[in-house]
Amino acid sequence: MLGALSQKVTAADPLTRFDSSVLETLHRHASPTGLRDAAFVSRIGSPTAMTILAVSGALLLALAGEWIVLCGWVAAFTGASLLDRWLKLTIHRPRPAYAASLIHHGTWSFPSGHAMGSLVGFGMLAYVLLLFATRDPKLRAGIVVLLGFLIIAIGLSRLYLGVHYFSDVAGGYAAGLLWLSACVAAVELARRRRRYALRLHPTG
């Protein structure tokens, strides 16, 4: 999906026309209150917010001695940042014209770093909470729904503000999901190997 999106946004594809249509529709219906609320939601998925989440989570995991999960946590946040930067520099998609009033430094549009960062950051948070915080099914479902809603809201806020196209947000989610899945799979594999090693050498 990510590869297909990246190819389509660099060519005269129907997807780019759909992007423009969505952008113009949202811009026509935007209101000052809506823009203010969207800006607030967007800040929750900002690089600053994700850095705070990354550092706070890393400290708590280190204090708990969860070194395997800590490595996955650090890899998830660091890798998402690097992947976002690499994709932007590789694809070189200009931002929508409306972005100039909100973004005063030159950055590329594809993929949405807020969409990717929030999916990876809050996705890892959900994984860690489900791993350690609770076994109550209702609470676990609530965690997933709440953080999932927040991730979607952040992506929608970027569209409403006019700083990204629809395919930028979709591409950010696709890249974030791939990286999050890889990090979670690596952590689970490492934890399984550690449990196996402890069964073989229980006093080691």
How many domains does one find in the chain?
1
Instruction: Please identify which residue in the block is written with the tokens 């960062």.
Output: 117
**Helix pair 47-64, 67-91: axis angle to 10 deg:** 160
Residue range of the domain that includes 170: 39-200
* Per-residue pLDDT reduced to its tens digit, 145-179: 999 999 999 999 999 888 888 999 999 999 999 99
Mean pLDDT of 125-140: 91
Instruction: Please identify which residue in the block is written with the tokens 């705070």.
Output: 52
- The most distant pair of C-alpha atoms in the chain lies apart, rounded to whole Å, by 67
The number of residues in the chain equals 204
**Residue 179 within a domain:** yes
**Residue 95 within a domain:** yes
Query: How far, in Å, CA of 52 to CA of 142, rounded?
Result: 23
Return the half-sphere exposure (C-beta side, CA atoms, 13 A cut-off) of residue 5. Answer: 21
In this prediction the pTM is 0.85
* Per-residue pLDDT reduced to its tens digit, 81-104: 999 999 999 988 887 776 666 666
